[in-house]
Amino acid sequence: MKDNEVFERICRGDETALEYLYKKYYRMMTKLVISNSGSEQEAKDIYQDALVVFWQKATSGNLVLTSKISTYLYSICQNLWRKELDRKRRLSHEEKDGEEYIDIDTKERSKIITDCIGQLGETCKKVLMFYYFDGLSMQDIADKLGFANTNTAKTKKYKCKKKLDELVKSQYSESDFLD
Amino acid sequence: MSEVEKIDAYFGNEMTEAEQIDFENSVQNDPTLKKEFEFQNDIVNALRETRKAELKAMLNKVPVSGSMSTSSSFSVGKIASLIVGAAIMGVSVYFLTNSDAAGSLATESTTETQPVKPETLLESAVPSEKSNSQQDLIATESTQLSSSESNDATVQSFSGVESSPKNSENKMNTTTSSTVESEEQKVVVSKPEINKPVISNFNDATNNTDSLEAPGGSLVNKTYKEQRSMEVEIEEGSKKHNFHYHFVNGKLFLLGDFDKNLYEILEINTTTDKAIFLYYKGLYYNLDKNQEKISALTPIKDNSLVEKLERIRSEE
């Protein structure tokens, strides 16, 4: 597959094209991390993160490819790994739980929301994730999920979001998050 | 647009930059809106995180061997390993021709039913040891060499018997050296005087028959895996590197459209080292194992060398 074909497919939210990319550059990208004092697991993690970043930018239409995909991915990997190395260095110099402190409320809240997302139906989940993360157009969402048209996609998205909001609110009030 | 719609448009990336900034300002100035905004922010973030995790889980399921080979080099690797095996086998014929000539001649009647000339006999004898890795073969040879040196004296006393093996031995050497010599690498050509003592095998030819046959029986079912001593990986070429190669930590990387045609790697053992050749689209290329920089592949022009490689390659 040529670069622009892969890219085009990814922009439309074709996950198999992402898998194809993942396989294709796996060695190349993980080598970057491994040869810079990273473990194989870290390398894999960074590479996957980089691909997800790439995916998100591409699907949401925020990316104009000016170089080869591999060059672009490589630079994301470099940046992510540099950040991770920085983070590790800071951790080793400072007390572990100084800065990294996240208030328990925030943690608790995000756990509740994640649980609520899990309670949604598969289609609902997909519609919302495609809309809020992938940033796919309503047309692409309709295509991917087999909706008749963009209106169906819009309605579905609206209803699912409402359902999720309500679920979360009801859970919040149970745990006294809402005053 | 209602506030709720605005929030949604904001998170759905449907606002222009100016609208975004405008909206962020109004959020800061309206406590009720801010509260709703933060609530939505949490939900959207959780949705994004869930999706990220989902994508990563999906990628995690994609099989990528943590080790060296990728899918393309795997399928080709299989072919390559067969070919490498063939090459090793071909070369090991020479090992054995040199070291075992006499012994095999003696055992000819017991091991083979139809009369064959020495080379072919050995060729058919070698596959029975197929699965021995080349190291084994080398090891065997070197022990034979050392033992033979010490037996030099014995050999002399067998002058009567000696003549026939010696003849064949000389014949062997001419065959071997003519086939194998090239300007770039000397494929194992043992010195004649080292071969001589192999006649010690002659003494206990019957015992040898057993030891020669045993490995064949038990090992014949083993896979080819052991023979594959070199890893190969194909990388898609770039404009600059479209027909190139280099070695990284002993692993061969071929750059170019190698996926589209069948290529073969020939590994040939020499006394000290291993010579590696590539066969692709009817041409042979010499691969320098110490070449770590990416360099162009140029076909071997020396006709006699090409002929020899052709012969080795077609032996299987």
Domain ranges of chain A: 3-93, 104-174
User: Which residues from A are below 8 Å from B3, CB to CB?
Assistant: none
Task: Measure CB to CB from residue A55 to each of B8, B49, B55 and give the nearest one.
Answer: B55
pLDDT tens across B33-51, in order?
999 999 999 999 999 999 9
Say if CB B136 and CB B214 are below 8 A apart: no
Q: Are residues B211 and B95 in the same domain?
A: yes
The whole-angstrom distance between A58's CA and the closest CA on chain B is: 14
**B172 CB-contact burial (10 Å; exposed 0-12 / middle 13-18 / buried 19+):** buried
Number of A to B CB contacts under 8 A, please give it. 75
Domain holding B45, by residue range, is 3-61
Res. B275 pLDDT band, cuts 50 70 90: confident
Structure confidence at residue B59 (pLDDT): 95
pLDDT tens across B204-213, in order?
444 444 445 4
Task: Pick the range with the lowest mean pLDDT from A98-107, A131-140, B109-118.
Answer: B109-118
If one counts every other C-beta atom within 10 angstroms of the C-beta of residue A1, the result is 11
Q: Are residues B233 and B276 in the same domain?
A: yes
Res. B96 pLDDT band, cuts 50 70 90: low
Residue B213 lies in a domain: yes
- How do beta strands B232-235 and B251-256 pair? parallel
Q: Are residues B56 and B93 in the same domain?
A: no
Nearest by Cα to A2 from A69, A59, A51, A52: A69
Say if CB A47 and CB A26 are below 8 A apart: yes
Res. A96 pLDDT band, cuts 50 70 90: low
Average pLDDT, chain B: 66
Residue B15 has pLDDT above 80, yes or no: yes
Closest residue in A to B235 (Cα) is A24
CA atoms within 13 A on the CB side of B21: 2
Closest residue in A to B36 (Cα) is A165
Taking residues B268-289, what's their average pLDDT? Answer: 79
The whole-angstrom distance between B67's CA and the closest CA on chain A is: 9
Residue B262 has pLDDT above 60, yes or no: yes
Fold of A104-174: Arc Repressor Mutant, subunit A (1.10.10)
Res. B156 pLDDT band, cuts 50 70 90: very low
pLDDT tens across A49-67, in order?
999 999 999 999 888 888 9
Say if CB B189 and CB B176 are below 8 A apart: yes
Q: Are residues B251 and B213 in the same domain?
A: no
Domain final residue, candidates B170, B193, B226: B226
Res. A74 pLDDT band, cuts 50 70 90: very high
Residue B238 has pLDDT above 60, yes or no: yes
If one counts every other C-beta atom within 10 angstroms of the C-beta of residue A64, the result is 7
Structure confidence at residue B169 (pLDDT): 46
Residue B76 lies in a domain: no
Q: Between B130 and A72, whose confidence is greater?
A: A72
Structure confidence at residue A94 (pLDDT): 67
**Residue B142 token pair:** 């070197």
Task: Measure CB to CB from residue A52 to each of B40, B44, B56 and give the nearest one.
Answer: B56
Inter-chain touch B13–A60, beta carbons under 8 Å: yes
> If you average pLDDT over each of A166-170, B107-111, B145-149, B278-282, which comes out highest?
A166-170
Inter-chain touch B52–A133, beta carbons under 8 Å: yes
Edge-first strand listing for the sheet containing B283-287 = B263-269, B274-280, B283-287
Distance CA A170, CA B7 (A): 20
Taking residues A101-113, what's their average pLDDT? Answer: 82
Res. A178 pLDDT band, cuts 50 70 90: low
Task: Pick the range with the lowest mean pLDDT from A133-142, A145-154, B290-299.
Answer: B290-299
Phi and psi at A128, nearest 5°, equal -65, -40
User: Which residues from B are below 8 Å from A109, CB to CB?
Assistant: 42
Please give the C-alpha separations between residue A59 and each of A141, B10, B62, B144, in angstroms, as whole numbers.
Answer: 11, 17, 20, 68
Task: Pick the range with the lowest mean pLDDT from A100-114, A123-137, B67-81.
Answer: B67-81
- How do beta strands B251-256 and B263-269 pair? unpaired
Residue B278 has pLDDT above 70, yes or no: yes
- Provide ipTM, 2 decimals: 0.90
Domain final residue, candidates B184, B211, B226: B226
Non-local (6+) Cβ contacts of A56 within 8 A are A133, A134, A135
Q: What percent of chain B has pLDDT over 70?
A: 47
Structure confidence at residue B218 (pLDDT): 43
Phi and psi at A133, nearest 5°, equal -100, -60
Q: Between 3.50.50.60, 1.10.3720.10, 3.40.50.800, 1.10.1740.10, what CATH number should domain A3-93 receive?
A: 1.10.1740.10
Q: How many domains does chain B have?
A: 3
If one counts every other C-beta atom within 10 angstroms of the C-beta of residue A176, the result is 7
Q: Are residues B206 and B246 in the same domain?
A: no
Domain final residue, candidates B226, B252, B285: B226
The whole-angstrom distance between A121's CA and the closest CA on chain B is: 14
Q: Are residues B112 and B170 in the same domain?
A: yes
Task: Pick the range with the lowest mean pLDDT from A27-41, A139-153, B297-311.
Answer: B297-311
Query: For the packed helices B159-180 and B303-313, what is the interaxial angle rounded to 10 degrees?
Result: 110
DSSP string, A24-88: HHHHHHHHHHHTTT--HHHHHHHHHHHHHHHHHHHHTT-----S-HHHHHHHHHHHHHHHHHHHH
Q: Between B262 and B221, whose confidence is greater?
A: B262
Structure confidence at residue A68 (pLDDT): 93
Res. B263 pLDDT band, cuts 50 70 90: confident
Q: Are residues B222 and B232 in the same domain?
A: no
If one counts every other C-beta atom within 10 angstroms of the C-beta of residue A134, the result is 22
User: Which residues from B are below 8 Å from A48, CB to CB?
Assistant: 55-56, 59-60
Q: Are residues B99 and B184 in the same domain?
A: yes
Residue B73 lies in a domain: no
Tell me the three state secondary structure of residue B140.
helix
Residue B252 has pLDDT above 60, yes or no: yes
Q: Are residues B202 and B235 in the same domain?
A: no
Distance CA B52, CA B66 (A): 22
**Residue B228 token pair:** 């594959």
**Residue B291 token pair:** 């070449």
Q: Are residues B129 and B107 in the same domain?
A: yes
Phi and psi at B251, nearest 5°, equal -100, 135
Q: Are residues B207 and B252 in the same domain?
A: no
Q: Which amino acid is at B154?
A: T
Res. B27 pLDDT band, cuts 50 70 90: very high
Strand partners, B244: B255, B296
Residue B304 has pLDDT above 70, yes or no: yes
Residue A40 at interface with chain B, using a CB cutoff of 8 Å: yes
Long-range contacts of range A68-73, CB-CB < 8 Å, 24 or more positions apart? A68/A3, A69/A3, A69/A6, A69/A7, A69/A21, A70/A25, A70/A28, A73/A21, A73/A25, A73/A29
Residue B220 has pLDDT above 90, yes or no: no
Non-local (6+) Cβ contacts of A100 within 8 A are A91
Mark out chain B residues that contact chain A at CB-CB < 8 A: 8, 11-13, 39-40, 42-52, 54-56, 58-60, 62, 64, 66, 68, 70-71, 233
Structure confidence at residue B163 (pLDDT): 43
Question: Widest CA span of chain A, in angstroms?
Answer: 57
Say if CB B230 and CB B84 are below 8 A apart: yes
The separation between the first and the last C-alpha atoms of chain B, rounded to the nearest angstrom, is 78
Edge-first strand listing for the sheet containing B232-235 = B232-235, B251-256, B243-248, B295-296
**Residue B123 token pair:** 């060729």
Q: What percent of chain B has pLDDT over 90?
A: 14
Average pLDDT, chain A: 90
Inter-chain touch B58–A15, beta carbons under 8 Å: yes
Q: Which residue has the tokens 């970057």?
A: A32
pLDDT tens across B161-177, in order?
444 444 444 444 444 44
Q: Are residues B218 and B100 in the same domain?
A: yes
Structure confidence at residue A165 (pLDDT): 94
